[in-house]
């Protein structure tokens, strides 16, 4: 009931014309909040409330700015959150952030999560569509301190970030991520990497992909070698999005994981309808086969701004 009350209050605010995401004078807000029900075959069902919200300031004259943000996960028996925040300076060279910026890689990878279920982003599948740092930070509720740079050079946009998380006992986990998008007309080439090091151990995940848009269709694929998830794993994701209107998206996803010890395939379908002020409803279904077969269904209600 608490989850429903929080989301209802947010929808009520969003429907108020006086609420603006661009507050003027350089202040703005962006994020996503979603209440999601997930039912996995042969497992318990669960309702989650996810949220990631940033409040930002950017001076129009000096180039200085900053933001504060939060990622949160609320379940019936488990509430977790992690805070972000950084000072920034922008110019013709790009943008530099220092403090606890968000990880660069997440803004450059584009492959959708299977069946549109945000639940998967907090598990192993999250390492295929984004940074492992984002998962580790919220699971262990540790704010990652670091630096970030983003810049645009002709058709190429790049981002690089460094973060460190205190693991306790005077030890740290260091994350270096980089992402690039290169535009070729209606096609975008995608590349990314993430290196994780702790003591003498170091692993690097690699991501390569492309997306192309054809009228109401968007097609894409991504190859990844998610060493942060497990050594020796190769993953291929192929996806397509059909948008008959600006408000409606249908997404189909095929995912294949291969290693020396297992071979898994997954199929996902989802539909998302976005109404005024970013309010949306999303439903999805996924099938897994390989070492073990299962299925899952999810239904979400939320708001993006």
Compute the average pLDDT of residues 237-242. 98
Which band of pLDDT confidence, cut at 50, 70 and 90, is reported for residue 122? confident
| Model confidence pLDDT, tens digit, residues 253-275 | 999 988 877 788 999 999 999 99
Q: How is 76-88 classified by DSSP, letter by letter?
A: TTEEEEEEEEEEE
| Model confidence pLDDT, tens digit, residues 33-69 | 999 999 988 777 889 999 999 999 999 899 999 999 9
The neighbouring-strand residues paired with 253 are 239, 268
Q: How far apart are the first and last CA of the chain?
A: 24
| pTM check: above 0.85 | yes
| Model confidence pLDDT, tens digit, residues 133-192 | 988 898 889 999 999 999 999 999 999 999 999 866 668 899 999 999 999 999 999 999
Q: What confidence score (pLDDT) does residue 41 get?
A: 81
Residue 78: pLDDT over 90:
no
Which band of pLDDT confidence, cut at 50, 70 and 90, is reported for residue 197? very high
Residue 6: pLDDT over 60:
no
Can you say whether residue 115 is alpha, beta or left, with left for phi > 0 and alpha for psi between -120 and 50 degrees? Answer: left
Q: What confidence score (pLDDT) does residue 189 get?
A: 98
Mean pLDDT of the residues in the chain: 88
Q: What confidence score (pLDDT) does residue 15 get?
A: 39
**Distance between CA atoms of 162 and 141, rounded to whole angstroms?**
18
pLDDT over 90 percentage in the chain: 67
CA angle 267, 305, 94 (to 5 degrees): 95
Q: What confidence score (pLDDT) does residue 170 get?
A: 62
Q: What confidence score (pLDDT) does residue 17 get?
A: 37
Compute the average pLDDT of residues 223-237. 86
Residue 97: pLDDT over 50:
yes
**Distance between CA atoms of 243 and 184, rounded to whole angstroms?**
21
Residue 237: pLDDT over 70:
yes
User: What per-residue string of b and e applies to 268-290 under the rule 16 or more CB within 10 Å gives b?
Assistant: bbbebebeebbbbebbbbbbbee
Q: What confidence score (pLDDT) does residue 13 get?
A: 39
Strand 94-100 with 145-153, pairing: antiparallel
Q: What confidence score (pLDDT) does residue 11 get?
A: 40
Q: What confidence score (pLDDT) does residue 238 get?
A: 98
Q: Which residue has the tokens 């180039």?
A: 63
Q: What confidence score (pLDDT) does residue 168 get?
A: 64
Residue 5: pLDDT over 70:
no
Q: What confidence score (pLDDT) does residue 16 get?
A: 38
């Amino acid at each position: 009931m608490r989850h429903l009350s929080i989301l209802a209050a947010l929808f009520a605010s969003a429907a108020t014309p006086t609420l603006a995401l661009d507050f003027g004078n350089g202040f703005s807000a962006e994020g996503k909040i979603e209440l999601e029900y997930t039912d996995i075959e042969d497992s318990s069902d669960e309702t989650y409330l996810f949220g990631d919200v940033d409040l930002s300031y950017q001076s129009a004259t000096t180039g200085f700015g900053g933001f504060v943000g939060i990622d949160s996960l609320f379940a019936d028996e488990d509430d977790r959150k992690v805070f972000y925040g950084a000072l920034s300076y922008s110019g013709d060279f790009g943008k530099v952030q220092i403090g606890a910026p968000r990880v660069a890689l997440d803004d450059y990878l584009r492959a959708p999560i299977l069946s549109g279920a945000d639940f998967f982003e907090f598990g192993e599948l999250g390492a295929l569509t984004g940074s492992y740092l984002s998962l580790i930070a919220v699971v262990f509720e540790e704010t990652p301190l670091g630096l970030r740079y983003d810049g645009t050079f002709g058709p190429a946009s790049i981002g690089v970030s460094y973060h460190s998380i205190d693991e306790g006992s005077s030890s740290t986990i260091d994350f270096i991520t980089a992402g690039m998008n290169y535009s070729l007309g209606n096609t975008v080439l995608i590349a990314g990497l993430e290196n994780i090091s702790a003591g003498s151990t170091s692993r690097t995940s690699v991501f390569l992909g492309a997306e192309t848009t054809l009228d109401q269709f968007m097609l894409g694929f991504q190859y990844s070698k998610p060493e942060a998830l497990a050594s020796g794993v190769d993953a291929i994701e192929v996806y397509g999005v059909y948008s008959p209107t600006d408000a409606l998206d249908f997404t189909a996803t095929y995912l294949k994981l291969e290693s020396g010890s297992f071979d898994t395939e997954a199929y996902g379908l989802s539909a998302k309808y976005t109404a005024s002020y970013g309010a949306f409803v999303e439903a999805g279904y996924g099938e897994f086969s390989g070492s073990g077969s299962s299925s899952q269904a999810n239904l979400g209600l939320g708001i993006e701004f």
